[in-house]
């Protein structure tokens, strides 16, 4: 497993961080590593978890912004004025059927 330094987690994508986290969990669960190595891997895993949380929080904010924008556009479309009598073309029939 290619390991990046702890401070490099800020450059990882969500998928990369999850992949590395999965590898760390598998390694710790297998019992192959010493206690000291396991603690180092645990620390790295926590940094990866924090990176994933950052990415998810940013995605959530982006989704909220997109949703708010879509709702604003919907409200704007709903609040457009209905056709006014003055907007009808000249000579158009009105409800009474009279032209004048």
Determine the pLDDT at residue 7.
Answer: 61
Q: Residue ranges of the domains in the chain?
A: 6-71
4 pLDDT higher than 50: no
The answer to whether the beta carbons of residues 51 and 12 sit under 8 Å apart is yes
How far apart CA 32 and CA 18 sit, in angstroms, is 21
| pLDDT recorded at residue 68 | 92
The two structure tokens encoding residue 99: 């032209």
Q: Which residues of 56-92 are buried (b: 16+ CB within 10 A; e: fewer)?
A: eeeeeeeeeeeeeeeeeeeeeeeeeeeeeeeeeeeee
pLDDT at residue 98 greater than cutoff 60: no
What are the backbone dihedrals phi and psi of residue 21, each rounded to the nearest 5 degrees, phi first? -65, -40
Which fold does the domain 6-71 belong to in CATH?
Helix Hairpins (1.10.287)
Label residue 99 by pLDDT band (50, 70, 90). Answer: low
pLDDT band at 41 (very low <50, low <70, confident <90, very high): very high
């Amino acid at each position: 497993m290619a390991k990046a330094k702890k401070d490099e987690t800020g450059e990882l994508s969500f998928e990369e961080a999850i992949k590395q986290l999965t590898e760390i969990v598998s390694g710790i669960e297998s019992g192959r590593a010493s206690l000291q190595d396991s603690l180092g891997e645990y620390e790295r895993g926590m940094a990866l978890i924090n990176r994933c949380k950052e990415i998810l929080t940013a995605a959530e904010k982006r989704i909220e912004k997109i949703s708010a924008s879509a709702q604003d556009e919907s409200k704007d479309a709903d609040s457009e004025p209905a056709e006014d009598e003055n907007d009808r073309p000249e000579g158009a029939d009105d409800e009474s059927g009279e032209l004048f």
